[in-house]
Amino acid sequence: MKTKRIIIKSVICSILPWLFVAPFSVLHAEKVVNVESRASSAQTVLGSTVIPYREVTLAAQMPGRVVSISGDVGTMIKKNQVIVKIDDDDLQAKRRSVLAALEAAQASLRNSQAQYTREMVSPRSKSISGMPGFGLPAMMDIYMTRPMYEMMGDYDQDANRYSDLMNSATGVSQAKSQVMQAWSQLSEIDARLKDTVAVAPFDGMILKKMVEVGDTVQPGQPLVKFGDVKYKRLKADVPSIMVGNLKVGMVVPVVINSELKTEARVSKIFPIADPSRHTVTVKFDLYTNVNASPGMYAEISIPNRSSKAQSVLVIPRTALLKGRSLDSVLRVNEKGETELRLVRLGADQGDGKVAVISGLEAGDRIIDEPPAGAKSGTKVE
């Protein structure tokens, strides 16, 4: 019995290899592709940073003490919402004082207008109580004394009336000037009160806080950094020799944090280069669905057309044998049989193609999408 078992195992072991090799003893010619030679798509990888679409630094316009901040870093703020508020007690006291002066100026204006109206309706130059002399009734002075003075040249009723009107009109003008002056002072204080708050110029997020509640600030001191993070960009310093390879609207591949692969569109190329580093700042717009935060590191692949184009060998990635530790393909020799070739791969060429640095030559024929278990010596028909 033991001998029979050994014989059965020997037969099975001799048949099993044929069970796996037999189906692939012949490969069809439609699976054979030629090794291509094409110009290398040379690219240069540059480091960049994710930035908000817009970013501003809000600074203090008035000296004082910070009394409130709307949130911490990462807080979303709506447009025109107050972000930082500075103490304004001193300005509020001055505003109340100006309001009192304004009210007094308006009262003086109303009185001056009333006096002018009175002079227009009831002139003082024609008042019967103005010249009561000679012991005669005051009414007689209007018809006798004043006309006699006018005949003698010592009295001019029209000149007196003109003088009285001008005096009343001048009082009205002076009262109006006082009111305008008070209004100007009030507007100045209101403008300074607006400078005691930092408001959001657009919908966005607090990116950085430079002050805390209780800090004393001076004009020009930065308070917070605020940015529009709904849309994001990449900012890179591109060598000036490579800027000519970029155009506004061009789409380039991007890798964020060495994991997220996406694309970005060239949105702005600055017209002036940095004289010390000889680089030009370029901004790239990211897609709105890209999950990236401001400050993240990103790599941008920029085409390097300025370098001399070199020919490289290209094969489909599907031609690589699966399940092997070393990259290899099946090459079809002159006898029409396959032979195993180890290859060294280069950069990805797109369209599912990859460059081959060594192991093959231009014009070689290889098996595309080789079946599992395929090996050297398989006939190709």
Give the mean pLDDT of 241-260: 88
pLDDT digits (tens, 9 = 90+) for 32-81: 888 888 766 567 788 899 999 999 999 999 999 999 999 899 899 999 99
Q: With a cut of 90, say whether residue 270 has pLDDT above it.
A: yes
- Percent above pLDDT 70 for the chain: 79
pLDDT digits (tens, 9 = 90+) for 360-371: 988 898 988 888
The alpha-carbon radius of gyration of the chain (Å, integer) is: 47
Give the mean pLDDT of 107-111: 89
Q: Which CATH superfamily is domain 44-51+227-303 in?
A: Efflux pump adaptor protein, beta barrel domain (2.40.30.170)
Q: How confident is the model at residue 17 (pLDDT cuts 50, 70, 90)?
A: very low
Give the mean pLDDT of 194-214: 92
Residues with Cβ within 8 Å of residue 356, at least 6 apart in sequence: 35, 312, 313, 314, 315, 343, 344, 345, 346
| Separation of alpha carbons 300 and 284, rounded Å | 9
- Residue 239 token pair: 């060598």
**CATH architecture of structural domain 58-83+201-223:** Beta Barrel (2.40)
Mean pLDDT of the chain: 81
Q: At what angle do helices 157-194 and 89-121 cross, to 10 degrees?
A: 160
Give the mean pLDDT of 294-312: 75
Out of 1.10.150.130, 2.40.70.10, 2.40.30.10, 2.40.420.20, the CATH code matching 2-41+310-380 is 2.40.420.20
Q: Where are the domains of the chain?
A: 2-41+310-380, 44-51+227-303, 58-83+201-223, 90-194
- Percent above pLDDT 90 for the chain: 31
Nearest Cα to Cα of residue 83 among 198, 228, 194 = 198
- Can you say whether the dihedral through the CA atoms of 48, 50, 56, 57 is positive or negative? negative
Q: What is the pLDDT of residue 219?
A: 92
Q: What is the pLDDT of residue 362?
A: 87
